[in-house]
């Protein structure tokens, strides 16, 4: 694509994002439609977000979003008044120690995965094919999300129980034999399902579980042409190992092949890495390019969510004209790092069900420029944030 054309698409995406920000802020701070949390928060700001937030950059006027706001109840304070009476689902994230963060969902997880479905190849992820979901279940949204993805594409989802909090506890206490036994238990359940249901054509799993599964079975011989995976242990080294070895693609798996069914790859299996969580939704990966050297580069589902890579140690107060006289509601601006530099992932979620501006995630990444498929910034080589005093444990992820 010509640079000028890409620049036009970048500008159009930014205009769409700014318009979406105005719509979402107006919704969440309108007494008729907003949720109790944000309406109460607005009363203490000293300024009206509906008037003063006119673009994405204006979200710097808000104080940083605190994850403690999502820990504990009453969880209904997050339900927008305009959606009162609708069936509400609560999904959790974290919770290995202390109270987990909770997010209410009504339709967001369905919308997120329907949008993601549009990025999947019908050849590798065939419509009507069933799915095996081999990943964290319990109070997380992933199980229901994969189930909806399968249903949306005309299939049925089969899953296993997996409690990552228990795995993390085993690792922390040094009971590695029990951790490996539990992982083997999960893999054996997956193998039993695969043998019993020959229409399973698609798989979701995590990097470590994918490796463990492929030690037991050939996914090519099992008739699975599409694998969708997630987790911050999705390194460049693992991506290459999975494509060339685990999924039996060989070194030339990525090359164009005019004799293939869709002319897209010679791969027998399409491997689709993703980066997502309960608070954001789902970021899809940039199409593979040899120049990226197997870095897995994710682009968020703009305008529903934005991820930026920022320097968390570089903060400044935004312009003071919008700040209340009592000085209690100052926002903070983190400097976005240069392309190719590492910083902490900052997430903003913008849906009618959930508004979360400027939240510093527990991950760090490399900032990447817009590309042809996604004309907005991406984040690559995502891994746990190195600035934490205590390293995060990923367990079976």
Distance of CA 212 to the CA centre of its chain: 23
CA distance 209 to 296: 18
**Other C-beta atoms lying within 10 Å of the C-beta of residue 187:** 20
Q: Which pLDDT score is estimated for 326?
A: 44
pTM for the model: 0.88
The tens digit of pLDDT for each residue in 211-254 reads: 999 999 999 999 999 999 987 678 899 999 999 999 988 777 77
- 101 contact partners, CB below 8 Å, separation of at least 6: 67, 70, 71, 92, 93, 94, 95, 278, 279
Q: Residue 95: pLDDT band by 50, 70, 90 thresholds? A: low
C-beta separation of 134 from 159 below 8 A: yes
Q: Which pLDDT score is estimated for 209?
A: 93
pLDDT at 322 over 50: no
**Other C-beta atoms lying within 10 Å of the C-beta of residue 390:** 7
Q: Which pLDDT score is estimated for 319?
A: 44
SS3 16: helix
Q: Which of 74-83, 167-176, 310-319 has the lowest mean pLDDT?
A: 310-319
CA distance 219 to 183: 18
3-state SS, 257-324, equals CCCCCCCCCCCCCEEEEEEEECCCEEEEECCCCHHHCCCCEEECCCCCEEEEEEEEEEEECCCHHHCC
CA distance 314 to 329: 19
- 126 contact partners, CB below 8 Å, separation of at least 6: 201, 202, 225, 226
Q: Which pLDDT score is estimated for 234?
A: 86
Q: Residue 15: pLDDT band by 50, 70, 90 thresholds? A: very high
Positive or negative torsion for Cα 166, 167, 173, 177:
positive
pLDDT at 329 over 60: no
Degrees (nearest 5) of the Cα angle 116, 122, 128? 95
- Write the DSSP assignment of 25-56 as a string of letters: HHHHTSTTTS-HHHHHHHHHHSS-HHHH--SG
C-beta separation of 346 from 335 below 8 A: no
SS3 378: strand
What are the angstrom distances between the C-alpha of 294 and each of 22, 85, 95, 333?
37, 47, 32, 32
The tens digit of pLDDT for each residue in 31-60 reads: 999 999 999 999 999 899 999 999 999 999
- Name the CA dihedral angle for 97, 101, 107, 110, rounded to a multiple of 10 degrees: -40
Q: Which fold has domain 108-290?
A: Rossmann fold (3.40.50)
Which DSSP letter does residue 215 get?
A: T
Q: Residue 395: pLDDT band by 50, 70, 90 thresholds? A: very low
CA distance 7 to 13: 10
Q: Which pLDDT score is estimated for 127?
A: 97
So where are the chain's domains?
3-106+308-340+356-360, 108-290
């Amino acid at each position: 694509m010509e640079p000028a054309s890409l620049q036009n698409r970048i500008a159009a995406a930014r205009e769409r994002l700014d318009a979406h920000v105005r719509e979402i802020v107006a919704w969440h701070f309108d007494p008729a439609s907003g949720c109790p949390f944000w309406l109460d928060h607005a009363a203490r700001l000293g300024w009206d977000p509906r008037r003063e937030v006119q673009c994405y950059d204006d979200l710097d006027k808000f104080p940083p979003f605190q994850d403690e706001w999502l820990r504990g109840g009453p969880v209904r304070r997050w339900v927008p008044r305009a959606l009162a009476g609708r069936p509400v689902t609560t999904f959790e994230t974290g919770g290995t120690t202390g109270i987990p963060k909770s997010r209410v969902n009504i339709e967001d997880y369905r919308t997120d995965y329907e949008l993601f479905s549009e990025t999947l190849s019908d050849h590798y992820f065939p419509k009507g094919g069933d799915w095996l979901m081999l990943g964290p279940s319990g109070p997380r949204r992933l199980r229901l999300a994969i189930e909806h993805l399968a249903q949306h594409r005309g299939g049925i989802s089969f899953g296993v129980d997996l409690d990552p909090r228990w795995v993390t506890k085993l690792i922390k206490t040094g009971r590695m034999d029990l951790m490996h036994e539990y992982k083997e238990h999960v893999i054996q359940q997956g193998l039993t399902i695969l043998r019993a249901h020959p229409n399973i054509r698609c798989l979701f799993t995590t990097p470590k579980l994918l490796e463990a599964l492929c030690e037991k079975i050939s996914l090519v011989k099992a008739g699975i042409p599409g694998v969708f995976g997630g987790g911050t242990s999705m390194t460049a080294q693992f991506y290459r190992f999975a494509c060339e070895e685990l999924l039996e693609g060989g070194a030339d798996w990525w090359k164009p092949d005019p004799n293939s069914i869709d002319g897209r790859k010679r791969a027998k299996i399409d491997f689709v890495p993703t980066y997502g969580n309960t608070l954001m939704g789902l970021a899809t990966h940039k199409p593979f390019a040899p120049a990226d050297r197997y870095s897995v580069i994710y682009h968020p589902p703009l305008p529903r969510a934005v991820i930026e890579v920022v320097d968390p140690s570089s903060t400044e107060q935004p312009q003071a004209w919008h700040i209340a006289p009592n000085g209690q509601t100052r926002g903070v601006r983190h400097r976005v790092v240069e392309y190719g530099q590492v910083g902490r992932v900052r997430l903003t979620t913008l849906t009618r069900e959930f508004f979360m501006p400027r939240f510093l995630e527990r991950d760090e990444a490399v900032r990447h420029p817009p590309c042809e498929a996604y004309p907005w910034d991406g984040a690559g080589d995502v891994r746990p944030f190195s600035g934490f005093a205590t390293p995060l444990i990923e367990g079976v992820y």
